[in-house]
A and B are shown apart, each in its own frame.
Chain A
Amino acid sequence: MTLQNSEQYDAVIIGAGIGGLVCGCYLAKAGMKVLIAEQHYKPGGYCTSFTRKGFTFDAAAHSFGGYRKDGIVRKIFEDLEIDKKIKIKRFDPIDIIKTPDYKVIFWADLDKTIDGLQKSFPDERDNIRKFLFFLSRPDPNSLIRTRSCTFKHLLDEYFKNDKLKAILSFPLFGNGGLPPSQMSAFIGSKIFTETLLDGGYYSGSGMQALPDAFVEKFKEFGGEIRLSCLAKKIRVEDNKVKGVVVEKNDFISSKCVVSSCDARQTFLTLIGRNKISYDMVSKINNMTPSLSMFVLYLGMDEYFKKLFKHGINLWFLSDYDLDKVYNSAKRGNFNSLSRYLIHISHDRKSVLAYMNTPYKNNKYWNVNKRHISEAFIEKIEKEAIPGISDHIVYQDSATPPTLNRYTLNYKGAAYGWAPIPKQLADLDFKKPSFIRGLYLAGHWSTLGLGIPGVSYIAYNIANLIMKKYKS
């Protein structure tokens, strides 16, 4: 039996990731009666932190972008006064990419970045400037072209040097899980602009400060959040949402539902196959989710702190053939370990390192987790930080099943649907016309990923709902 809760909400949001929180804050601020239901005991989704043995680790997201003047995250922080709750600083340099032949640095100052790239690749001098200018100030007419082609097409229009193309694509691989030959040029450009050119921002005490500040604001606006509250069903009648059933069969009536969680689960489990068309079910089954990741968390001793002046993202790529690198990652080949990111925390007390991997299964990771961690540390020691293992005082890791357990993203997908051109801007995953009152926010909405990407989508969804609400 489902308990009927007579109170009706204007909106129920499933998932307190950045998408759900941004959307919830705008709706509550507009005076709507909003409830956010989150299955985890803390808000944030992939943007959380956890503490072990005195070390605070960011679980996945370790910095954010889109905070320039006019940036979407800046706009949202100002609109909601999040910037008054947390202190934001910026890593500078933002990212360093190391390959066997090059060290490319992305600085907060674009001219400095361009200058460095030009020195490394003098033959591509003008192209580097043109390309980075296009990405930092894309005109709408050029941007429209990016909807149907891959990031490789875009790179080929500007550059001849394959090593440079691989270097410029590698952070997109790490932030979107695809090589340039498969990644949507639109999503690739956005990742490049928002996380490389305008990335490296950090909230003083850890990434958890972001969702915590949103929750605080959300409550101040009169919103209600339930943590450890798993949504079990989205009730749909006559192609219209009626509300959400949560744990203990508690039915929450609502005029609209924003699902800011896994899209497969939203349609196939929460709504149910019997409420959607056969075509939609088969479409979902034919869609490609993004890769997951294996994350290593290392707590470091006092000596380690002296090795670095500040927090930084270090990317290591030992093979310029990103298609090969991708296929090896997709197969879960850990022997070559040709690609990974090391993030030195802002306080230099900890290290987060990750590489993209397939889901495999629980059993696989139970058997292999330990030796993959060891091989990973060995690789870092050899290529990136000599002697690192002498300074590790705490060690932990997250596998794709861990990511799935904490966020319920399908197979621990790190970036929603794989950002390939044919999975771009699909309205069925943002505002499906066959179920009135249903919206999807988050990285499964096929329009963006990462904190800036989901922030834009959530802001956009909130505006759609507010327009409806007012009328």
Chain B
Amino acid sequence: MQGDIEKEIVFIIAEISGFEEEEITPDKNFFDDLEIDSIKAIEITVAIEKKFKISVRDEDVPNITTVRQAVDMVQGLLAAKQ
């Protein structure tokens, strides 16, 4: 399950950032490595919210800087939903 979630998130990041999926490894930093600006951050957040039917808490967003943190957050929200 973790794998599927990660795959979906990596796909979204790839679509928005233009980086290949293989390049988007868990440790990659959104801002330093993947050229994510504040508008792309909104695009990614909205896409993740739509895809997983979750609401990301605004206060959580500042703590998310890497792909792994994003996957963990989505997993946490999905677990809380169940």
List residues of A whose CB falls within 8 A of some B CB. 138, 140-141, 143-148, 186, 424-427, 430-431, 433, 447-448, 456, 460, 463-464, 467-468, 471
Contacts and interface: CB of A to CB of B under 8 A. Distances in A.
Nearest to B63: A141
A77 to B, nearest CB: 19
Most interface-central of A147, A426, A447, A448 (chain B CB within 10 A): A147
B18 interface: yes
A447 B47 CA distance: 13
Given A425-B43, A425-B47, A141 B61 contact: yes
Contacts of B20: 471
Given A141-B62, A427-B47, A467 B19 contact: yes
B41 A144 contact: yes
Given A144-B38, A427-B43, A433 B15 contact: yes
A427 B42 contact: no
Nearest to A421: B46
A144 B61 contact: yes
Interface string B14-53: 0110111000000000000000011111110111001000
A444 to B, nearest CB: 15
Contacts of A147: 42, 45-46
Contact of A145 (B12, B15, B46, B58): B58
B9 to A, nearest CB: 13
B38 A427 contact: no
A433 B16 CA distance: 11
A223 to B, nearest CB: 21
Contacts of B62: 141
B38 A143 contact: yes
A140 B12 CA distance: 20
Contacts of A143: 38, 41-42
A463 B18 contact: yes
Contacts of B41: 140, 143-144
A430 B15 CA distance: 10
Contacts of A426: 46, 50
Contact of A425 (B11, B19, B42, B55): B42
B70 to A, nearest CB: 13
Contacts of B50: 426
Nearest to B61: A144
11 contacts: A138-B38, A144-B41, A144-B42, A144-B45, A144-B61, A147-B42, A148-B55, A425-B42, A426-B46, A447-B43, A471-B20
Contacts of A433: 11, 15
B42 A186 contact: yes
A145 B11 CA distance: 23
Nearest to A461: B18
B19 A447 contact: no
B10 to A, nearest CB: 13
A430 B20 CA distance: 18
B41 to A, nearest CB: 6
A143 B39 CA distance: 8
Most interface-central of B38, B40, B41 (chain A CB within 10 A): B38
B38 A140 contact: yes
Nearest to A468: B18
Given A147-B45, A427-B43, A464 B18 contact: yes
A471 B22 CA distance: 12
B50 to A, nearest CB: 8
A463 B58 CA distance: 28
Nearest to A145: B58
A147 B12 CA distance: 17
Interface string B47-76: 100100001001001100000000000000
Contacts of A146: 42
Contacts of B43: 425, 427, 430, 447
A424 B50 CA distance: 11
A467 B18 contact: yes
A462 to B, nearest CB: 10
